[in-house]
Amino acid sequence: MLCAYCASWNVFSESLLMNPAAPALPAEKLHQAEQLLAALRGEMAKAVIGQQAVIDEVLIALLADAHVLIEGVPGLGKTLLVKALARTFGGETRRIQFTPDLMPSDVVGHTLFDAATARFVTRQGPVFTHLLLADEINRAPAKTQSALLEAMQEKQVTLEGNSARLPQPFMVLATQNPIEQEGTYPLPEAQLDRFLLKIRIDYPSEQEEVALTRQVTQAKTGADLDVEAVGTLVGPATVVGLQQWAAHVTLDERVLAYAVAVVRASRDTPGLASGAGPRGPIALVRAARARALIAGRGFATPDDIKAVALPALRHRVTPTAEAEIEGLGTDQLLCELLDRVPAPRI
C-alpha cells in the first residue's frame, strides 16, 4: 500500500504515461520530477547511511532503464541499497546468491512434467521481478551468467520456445567483491557490456560510520539495517513514466558528438589496451539524460557527460599491463582522457 505522499503524484503519473512521445518536457513537470526524485533519494537515505553518490548513480540507471554492476567489499550495504530502492516505488525484489553450482534454470526458471495433472508446467525463476539482486555474480560460471543476457537486453525470458515478458520496470543490480578473486569467474565482455554503469562503493566517512553503527546497534537485535523507515512514494507505473521522460530529455548535437569523441579517444589512449565499443557513447547519452532529469533540466550538457563518464566507461576499457605496474588505475586514465578531449560550450 502506498503512503499518503503518493496521492499528490497521481496526476503526475498519469500525465507521464498519457503522452510519452511529447517532443519537449514542460518546465512545470520537470520541476515535479525533480521534487519526486529528490524525495526518492531522501527515502533511500533513511536506510542507506551516506553513499549519496552511489544512490544517485543507481537512480540514474533506473531512469535510464538499465542495469548496474556494483563493486565493493562485503558489508557496505549493497543488498540494503536494492531493498531500499524497491521499497520507494513498491517494487518487488528478489535475490540470487551466485555460486559455482548455480544452474541457468535456477535463474530463469524451467519446465517440468506434473504427474498429478499429466501436463508440462512452467515454473518461472527469480528473474521475474522488478529489481533482481545478483549477489556475487562472478562466483558462477559463464553459462549461468549468460542466463541473464536475454533478460537484460530484451526484457524477456524464453523457456521451451515460449517468450515471457518481464515486469516493468526491470533492473539487474549485480555485485562483486573486488578483493577476493579465488574461485571466481571473470564476467564475459558481452555480459559486462550490458551494464550501463559500474558503481564502486567505498568505505563511509568517519561521521557516516558513527551514524551507521548507532543506527544498527541502538535498541535492536541482529546486525543488519532494515528498510522499515523507507516510505513507498510511487508505484512502478510512475517509474516507467519517468524513464520515458528521461528518454525525451533534449540532447544537442554537439553534446552527442562530445560523447562519441570521448569514447573514440579511449581507443587510442596511452595506457589503455582496449577502448570502449559502440555501446560506450550510447551509455553516456542515456546516463546523461537521466542525470539531467534528476536535476530538473530538460536538456543534457557536457558536464552531464563528464559526470557519468567514469561509471559508464570503467568496465568497458582495459588498462595495459604497463599502466597497472605503474599504479595507474582505470579511473585515473579516464580522468586524464577527459582532460584531453575538449568539451563544447553550450
| Structure confidence at residue 2 (pLDDT) | 47
C-alpha span between 266 and 275 (Å, rounded): 5
C-alpha span between 91 and 79 (Å, rounded): 15
- Name the residue among 56, 61, 58 with its Cα closest to residue 34: 56
CB atoms within 10 A of CB 210: 12
- Name the residue among 308, 306, 301, 266 with its Cα closest to residue 283: 308
- 119 burial (CB, 10 Å; 0-12 / 13-18 / 19+) is exposed
Please, how many CA atoms are within 13 Å of residue 282, restricted to the half-sphere of its CB?
10
DSSP one-letter string for 14-76: HHHHH-TT-SS--HHHHHHHHHHHHHHHHHHHTTS-S-HHHHHHHHHHHHTT--EEEE--TTS
Give the 3-state secondary structure of residue 261: helix
- Bridge partners of 133, per DSSP, are 95, 173
C-alpha span between 126 and 56 (Å, rounded): 26
Query: Which cell is 61 given?
Result: 540507471
Q: What Å distances lie between residue 202 and 46, 69, 76, 209, CA to CA?
A: 19, 14, 8, 12
| Structure confidence at residue 120 (pLDDT) | 75
> The whole model's pTM is what?
0.88
- In CATH, the number for domain 66-230 is 3.40.50.300
- Name the residue among 274, 248, 280 with its Cα closest to residue 261: 280
Domain residue extents for the chain: 66-230
pLDDT digits (tens, 9 = 90+) for 198-221: 999 888 888 888 888 887 777 665
| Structure confidence at residue 225 (pLDDT) | 60
Q: What is the pLDDT along the chain (346 residues), one digit of tens a residue?
A: 445 445 544 445 555 555 544 456 788 888 888 999 999 999 998 888 888 899 999 999 999 999 999 988 777 778 888 889 999 998 899 999 998 999 988 998 887 877 777 777 778 889 999 999 999 898 888 888 888 888 998 999 988 778 889 999 999 999 988 776 666 788 877 788 889 999 998 888 888 888 888 877 776 655 556 777 888 898 999 999 999 999 999 999 999 999 999 999 999 988 888 889 999 999 999 999 999 999 999 999 999 999 999 999 999 998 998 988 888 889 999 999 999 999 998 7
